[in-house]
A and B are shown apart, each in its own frame.
Chain A
Amino acid sequence: MELYRAHVLICGGTGCTSSGSQTLIHTFEKELKKQGIENEVKLVKTGCFGLCEAGPIVIVYPEGTFYSHIKVEDISRITEEHLLKGIIVKDLLYKDVIHEDQILPIDEIDFYKKQKRIALKNCGAINPENIEEYIAYDGYKALGKVLTEMTPEDVINTIKKSGLRGRGGGGFPSGIKWEFTYKAEGDIKYVACNADEGDPGAFMDRSVLEGDPHTVLEAMAIAGYAVGSNQGYIYIRAEYPIAVHRLEIAIKQAREYGLLGKNIFGTGFSFDVEIRLGAGAFVCGEETALLNSIEGKRGMPRPRPPFPAIKGLWGKPTLLNNVETYANITQIILNGPEWFASMGTEKSKGTKVFALGGKINNTGLVEIPMGTTLREVIYEIGGGIPNGKKFKAVQTGGPSGGCITAEYLDTPIDYDNLIELGSMMGSGGMIIMDEDNCMVDIARFFLDFTVDESCGKCPPCRIGTKRMLEILEKITSGKGELEDIDKLERLADSIKVSSLCGLGQTAPNPVLSTLRYFRHEYEAHVKEKRCPAGVCKDLLSYNVDSDLCKKCGICAKKCPEGCIDGIKGKEVYKIDTKKCIKCGACMDACPFKAISKK
C-alpha cells in the first residue's frame, strides 16, 4: 500500500492553470526526485480552492500550510526547506495566514472563516480525476443509501423537506420539480444537468465540475432513481475544456466501478450519463433552448407550458437542474433534510456559491450560508475594495439582475430579499463596483451583451434590446436628451412583459435597477453632458493644471497623438482637447498629478 508522509495539493482549476499551475507540478516532480523524496511526498492536483486572487495556490499536509502566488522559482525552496527539512517557508505563506507571529489553520483565516462548504465540500480537497478519493469522502454512499433503503417517494420527500431551491437562477423548489417529473406520464424519462453557465463573471458551476465531478454524477443517478429515469445528459459549454475533460474521466471511472451503468449495486436500477457540448450561447442556458440544443436542434426557446417536467427531451418528461443544485443532493441525503434546512433564512435554505469579481481584494469563489449579509461577503470574506476606493454598488444576477447600493449592504442574502431590491440571486455572479465605475456604462455593457446573445426568435427581445442599447450609447456619448430616459423605461417595461423567454424578460433589469438607484448619473450625462465617474470617453476632457505643472514634458513624450505642447523648463504644458483621444497615458505618466480628467 502506498505510504506518503506529506501531500502537496496544487490547484488545477481554470484560474490557477492559466497562471501556470501545470508547470508547477512538473517542477515539483523534478525537485522531489532531486531530493530523493518522490516516494515520500505525494503530489495531488485538485480543483479550485476558491481564493483565485492568491493563485497559484499550494497546500502542504499534514501541516495544512497555505502557500500563495507560487512561482516556479519557489518550488525548490518549498521542497528543500519544507518537505525535506520541515521548515515552513514563511515568506511564501498567504498573507492572512500569519497572525501575531502564529500560523493560522486555513479554516481560521478571514476568507474561509465565514464560509460553509457543502456544494464545494470536495473542491480543492480531492483529486477530481481519482474516483477513490471521492469515495474516501463518502462518495457514492448516498446513492447506495437511496437505492437500498429509500423509495423514490422517500427521496422526493427528503428533497422537499430540505427546502432546496434551484441554484440556476430561478430558485424553483427542487423537490417539487422532482415530484412533477416523477408524476408525469411517460414510459421514458430523462434527467438533465444545466452546466451552460453563460453569465459574464460567473464560474461557480465550472469550479464544481472541475473540482468534484462525481458529486454531480451521483446526484443525477439519485435523481434518476427518484423520477424514474435511466439516462442523464450533462449540457456543458465547450469553452470549459478542463471541466469537460474531468467529467469524461469521472464518467469512465464510475462505469468501471459499476456506479453508473446497468444494475447498480445489484439493485436492478440502471443509470448512465452522457455529455453534450454547447457552443457557448447564453440563451442555451434557458431550459427549453437547452433541451432543443441537446436534441441537435438550433438552441432557441419555446413557450412554456408545457414545462420540461411534462414535455422535455424528445417530448418525454425531463428533470432539469443546475450543477450547484445537484451538488447539494448527496449531502442532503447523507445528513438529512433537517440539517440542510437548519441553515439559511426562512424561505432560502442551505448555502449559495458566489463568484466574487470586479473591484474586490479577494477575487474568487465563496460558499456562504443563505442569510449572510452582503457586507460580510464583500468586506470580511472578500477583503473589501482595493486601493482605498469607495464601494459603489454590487451587481448580482448578471445580465438578468441588477445592482445593490451601499445602504442595503446589511441585507441578508436570499432569493426574496434580492428580488425586493430590484436585483436577483441569479446563478451567483457577484461583481463589485467602486467609485470609478459609471453605472450608465455598466448598464450599456450588459445590454450590449444581451443584444449579442438574443436568439432573435421574438421581436421584443431582438428589436427592443437593440433600441435600448442605441439609447444608452446615445447617452454615454453625450447626445442624450431627457426624454430618452423615459423612453428607456417604457421600452424596458414592454420588453419585460412581452418577451418569449427569460432572456428578454430580464434583459432590461440592469437598466431599470441602475435607473432606480443612480438616476442622477443618467441625468448628469444627459443634462450636464458629464460622466461623474470619469468613464464615458466622449464626455471627458483631460487638462493640465498650470499651478501644479512643473514643465517637465513627460506628458508630451508619452502622448501617442502628439497633442500636448509646451516648452521644457519654461512653459506650462497644454493638451489640445480636439485632438486628444482620451487614452489617459499623460495622466498616468505625470509625476506631479498635474493632469486631471473631468
Chain B
Amino acid sequence: MMKSLDELAKIREQARKKVDIRDSKHGIKIVVGMDTCGISAGARPVLLELVAEVQKRNLNDVSVVQTGCIGVCRLEPMIEVYKEGEEKVTYVEITAEKARRIIEEHIVNGKIVDEYTIGAIE
C-alpha cells in the first residue's frame, strides 16, 4: 500500500528501468554480432553482461542490440560501438569481463580501449 508521492516516485524509477529498452534512443549504440559463429564463440554472455551493466549504471541513452555476423568470424565475439560524431569502433574476441571494461572506459569515460580493438589484434 503506497502512502506517499515519494513511494510512487520510487516505484516509477524501478519500473522505468524495466521498460527502458522500448524507448527510442539517440545516444550510443552497442551492436553485438550474434550469428552462429558469434554465439558459439561466446557472444551471449557478452550480450547479457552489456545489458546488465547498462542497466546497473542507469545509462538510459545507450542501447544494446544484436546483429548477425559482423564479418570476421574467427575474431568473434565482436562488438561495435556507434557514438554520434565518432567513427565506429570495432572490438574483437570479447569476453564478459572485457565487455565490462569497455562500458566503464569507453561508454562512460569516453576512452577507447585500444588493446581490444580490431586494429590492435590484426
- Which A residues have a C-beta under 8 Å from some C-beta of B? 1-7, 9, 40, 61-64, 84-87, 105, 107, 125-126, 132-133, 135-141, 144, 148, 256-259, 265-266
Contacts and interface: CB of A to CB of B under 8 A. Distances in A.
Contacts of B25: 62
B1 A258 contact: yes
Interface string B50-76: 011001000000011111100000000
Contacts of A3: 48, 51-52, 55
B4 A86 contact: no
Contacts of B120: none
Interface of B: 1-5, 8, 11-12, 14-19, 21-22, 24-25, 32-36, 38-39, 44, 47-48, 51-52, 55, 63-68
15 contacts: A1-B55, A5-B21, A62-B22, A62-B65, A84-B39, A85-B66, A86-B32, A86-B34, A86-B65, A86-B66, A87-B34, A132-B11, A138-B12, A257-B1, A258-B3
Q: Main SS of the interface on chain B? A: helix
B47 A5 contact: yes
B22 to A, nearest CB: 5
A554 to B, nearest CB: 50
A141 B47 CA distance: 34
Contacts of A141: 8, 12
B51 A5 contact: yes
A418 B1 CA distance: 48
A523 to B, nearest CB: 55
Contacts of B16: 136
Contact of A132 (B15, B33, B44, B67): B15
B32 A2 contact: no
A137 B19 contact: yes
Given A86-B66, A87-B34, A141-B8, 11 more contacts: A7-B22, A85-B39, A86-B35, A86-B65, A136-B15, A136-B19, A138-B12, A148-B5, A256-B1, A265-B2, A266-B3
A132 B18 contact: yes
B65 to A, nearest CB: 5
Contacts of B3: 258, 265-266
A504 B108 CA distance: 67
B8 A61 contact: no
A64 B24 contact: yes
